[in-house]
Amino acid sequence: MMTPHNGAQMGDFAKTVLMPGDPLRSKFIAEEFLENPRLVNEVRNILGYTGTYKGIPVSVMASGMGMPSIGIYSYELYQYYGVENIVRIGSAGSYVERLNVRDVVLAESAYSDSTFALKTSGATEKTMYPSEELNAIIMSKADELGINCKKAVVHSSDAFYTTPNVGGWQDIREQTGTECVEMESFALFHNANMLNKRAACILTISDSFCTNEVLSAEDRQNSFREMMRLALESAIA
Ligand code: ADE
């Protein structure tokens, strides 16, 4: 079985796939955290690997950036490769003082004015929800590991660069109640719900619109490790 965007065979992916945006991060996770990682996809350099974590099969594959990209890859994993759970592991910009750079965040919902859901399935909702079951597993693992994981309402934006005439981040925050911004969760949650599968999204805050702080590469790596431990331990729970 192959799709236009994935060269893996049926059975190459584990039931649970961790999805960073960046293909090189996927490679790093596989090589650093998985036992016996095997490259299962490299179409368009969207590197995908399957290995084991503490003896249990886990996969990791990049999503690329934005909803069209994660929309394609998550759909194919769920629909054609028998994947049951996708946990996005990404970064986000904070709209609120409660969420500081380095914080680990679990998406409790994703708001978007993207047309992704409408175009995909006719869904008109502007908020999509992750799996309650996965979120419960992740929160209880965070407790167990002593990781302060904050639940937050996520804004899934179609644009990274915006001009003032479309409204500032404060307007978006006030109008939507969102607390941080990334670019993928809404589409991932939509696909999971449409296909009766499960999705969750863990984020580290990499930049703050409130304080203008931006994480250095080294800090990113450290907080990323905390998120990775949480994602991997949750994946095998
Ligand atoms: N991911 C991390 N920071 C972001 C930002 N400021 N906007 C959109 N996506 C992001």
**Does the CB atom of residue 66 touch ligand 1 within 6 A?**
no
Ligand 1: atom nearest CA of 209 is: 6
**Does the CB atom of residue 215 touch ligand 1 within 6 A?**
no
Whether the model pTM is above 0.90: yes
Query: Is the distance from CB of 225 to CB of 112 less than 8 angstroms?
Result: no
Q: What is the pLDDT of residue 218?
A: 84
Ligand 1: atom nearest CA of 157 is: 8
Q: Catalogue the active-site residues.
A: 207
Residues in the chain: 237
Q: pLDDT tens for residues 30-70?
A: 999 999 999 999 999 999 999 999 999 999 999 999 999 99
pLDDT at 1 over 70: no
**Residue whose CA lies nearest to ligand 1 atom number 8:** 182
Structure tokens at 90: 């990404």
**Does the CB atom of residue 91 touch ligand 1 within 6 A?**
yes
Q: pLDDT tens for residues 175-198?
A: 999 999 999 999 999 999 999 999
Asked casually if ipTM beats, i.e. exceeds, 0.85, the reply is yes
Per-residue pLDDT, averaged over 67-94, amounts to 98
Query: What does the mean pLDDT of the chain come to?
Result: 96
Residue percentage of the chain with pLDDT more than 90: 92
